[in-house]
Amino acid sequence: MSTTQTFTVTGMTCNHCVASVTEEVQEIAGVEDVAVDLPTGAVTITSAEPLDQAAVKAAVEEAGYQLA
């Protein structure tokens, strides 16, 4: 059964930002889908198991952005 979690990411301003965050978050083990809503900064992640927030934070920071 999949789990869905939503995080808010700050600093994204364009589709390139969305692509960068999506690419990094998809690298986390167990991630099945990533949906980014640019206007709100919401990043909804579907994964096999609940994700550790530290792993998500690290991926977002690797992309050059911050978790709110």
Predicted confidence at residue 34, as pLDDT, reads 98
Q: What pLDDT, in 10s, does the model give residues 15-59?
A: 999 999 999 999 999 999 999 999 999 999 999 999 999 999 999
Domain that holds residue 59: 3-67
**Structural domain total, the chain:** 1
Map residue 18 onto helix, strand or coil.
Answer: helix
Predicted confidence at residue 38, as pLDDT, reads 98
Predicted confidence at residue 1, as pLDDT, reads 84
Q: Rounded distance, CA 4 to CA 14, Å?
A: 24
Residue 17 one-letter amino acid:
C
CATH number at residue 40: 3.30.70.100
